[in-house]
Amino acid sequence: MQLEALYQQVILQHYRHPHNRGVLDAPDAEVHLRNPTCGDEITLQLHVRDGTIEDVRFSGQGCSISQASASMMTQRLKGKPLAEADALSARFTEMMHGSAEAAVDRNLGHLRALAGVARFPVRVRCALLAWNALGEAAKQVRTNGPG
- Following DSSP, what letter does each residue of 123-142 receive, concatenated? HHHHHHHHHHHHHHHHHHHH
Mean pLDDT value across residues 113-142: 95
What tens digit of pLDDT does each residue of 35-86 get?
A: 988 899 999 999 999 999 999 999 999 999 999 999 999 999 999 999 999 9
Cα–Cα nearest to 89, from 39, 127, 52: 127
Asked if residue 3 has pLDDT above 60, the reply is no
Domain range list for the chain:
2-144
Helices marked H in 1-147 — which ranges? 2-16, 64-77, 82-96, 100-103, 121-144
* Domain at 2-144, CATH class: alpha beta
What tens digit of pLDDT does each residue of 30-40 get?
A: 999 999 888 99
8-state DSSP, 5 = H
Query: What CA–CA distance (Å, rounded) separates 10 from 58?
Result: 19
Q: For the whole model, what pTM was predicted? A: 0.92
Query: What CA–CA distance (Å, rounded) separates 70 from 15?
Result: 9
Q: In sequence order, which residues have a C-beta less than 8 Å from that of residue 65 and are 6 or more positions away?
A: 11, 114, 117, 123, 126, 127
8-state DSSP, 35 = -
- Using a pLDDT cut of 70, give the percent of the chain over it: 94
145 pLDDT tier (thresholds 50, 70, 90) = confident
